[in-house]
Structure 1
């Protein structure tokens, strides 16, 4: 078998590594890949980033399965184009990708199918949005409607902060069009959880739960990032929480997918909030999360490649999805200054053998050396019988990795 992984982050390194575990897989092409996939077993980087070129490559090289990492390609309809050519690809059709591509669309979808979610209003006019803020209870949540690399959500504690955020989104246009339409949403107090799942349009199989850590600094303070670490399973996802999620969020979502006639054979990521008033749906992602993937996939006991094939072939109801016992803890290391301005080109070195798994993200292999070339540079995932042990391994490993200006949170999973 030949596989194609589209993307260049730590998530794609984790996907490529997991696909390569299948003995039938001969080669995993990574487009464009990174320094980690360059060195990974069976993997080969290819410098292609355009949909038409990816399609041509898949046809010419007789690719058996394609997995799309980033939401941007999915929203642009890459799955529809691959399907038209009879190629097997994991991901939602362009219509279904709107569940992530437009937060207003996803909220309307939740409302239509009775999925419990926070109260909200949608605005495309700055002045009307500011008028609405005058009568809001605080804190309030402001979200960019479109894609914003995981950074388009701000919690505002007062009117002035909310007004400033609206100006950033709608006038300054910090998200280059994605914040021209915004959602102002009720603030929910509780604990967030991430539940990656896979669907073939007939069933949805949830993965082990996880917990992302979005803010840059310890204690969950500072601006949002693409994710500074993740643990799995999420200790707050009790049986009662998961039962409520399955009944009131997962099943009605599946009903909506079917009634809207979406061709959805791919990943559906549920962001949920566990509150005293029950479990709420925060958002959908239509692809693997980053860094949740680096925490969750290593715990999968079943063959991941066979799972993907079953989803594409609409045969998940006959797939037994099994998980290893234990916990994982993934730490993300960022460049100094991230999520603001940062410098790149620094050498990445290791000073000892790692007990966990290293996933490279914003890193390239250049002149025989690994060098930084992004904001979130790498992740290390530790595994253990307990969460405490998984944390211990991850943090011990992180001390063996060095690059100039590296920064990571010290409280992931604490």
Structure 2
């Protein structure tokens, strides 16, 4: 069932409001509820209120729209970035450089030098880059991402802390890290880990924390320990999710014990992305056609994996509702897109009867949806709308052919080509 939305001091059925937005802005359309983003942020702050020095760094790769970044910056969030472009977006959104942590993977030392120029915090996960960095910037304290050799996450594509992962420096390679520090004079200000996404078993976090604590105790003058994130959010009714209260209770106790043994009250950082923005998002599409085959009824919509990749890339489940026909009888449909590939949003789904022209709402569309979109099949990227203080605001225009052609150089119209 669709929830209600607090809109202009009235409790308003969000289904009706989403239909209004679809008519106003057209489809396909992403809609983000800023109240839900704030609620998730505060929920996490409150859960870890027992830790004196606690920081949330929003993992902005989940959704990098500048308005969402500014909204979270105003709430007091820090920022987790993985590319120099995300660093620049964070700075444009108003984040102080020291509230931005840059954790790249497999980038060149040139990109990391740019991060130094911006003055942000840097987190390295490669012995070679660590050694090069120490030669160039021995006085620029950095963090180190550790690979704890833990298999975690909703599936293999989002498990990033196992022994064969490209991410992090193996905790067996701590002697190598110490050697680089001794040779270069480089200082470490923190340790970081991230084992995967969609983790519902809190024992995964506790196992990783134990490894980081064992490593960190041997390094003096640390400023922080960073546990990354990976919290699971519910994608369907009665779905599993990370028990934040149980996790915070256990982590708070273990972290306090570590700080006592370490002799200093350092900072604890988490880097949630999906947890903060996923449930705030709705993706609205229009049904182009109902197609019957010998075994399947397809509902073909005016979008595809070019806009919403997760179902095809991760086999991810997203709830799909027909908000145009809430009183219709349930029928089974395979909801598909208009891309010239296998392009499925949901297989054999029980949905209120779908008619051509109906508006479908795909939930949990706030994280890793628009940010993973593309122009495949030369399709335009969709619009984005943010609900803020009871009003809707267009925060990204729908693309046009001018956007598709913007960076194309047409050599056929060049005099040199014609005369050649």
Which of 1 and 2 has greater Rg?
2
Question: Which structure shows the bigger proportion of residues in helix conformation?
Answer: 2
Question: Which structure shows the bigger proportion of residues in strand conformation?
Answer: 1
Give the TM interval when normalised to the shorter protein.
under 0.3
Q: State the TM-score, normalizing by the size of structure 1.
A: 0.27
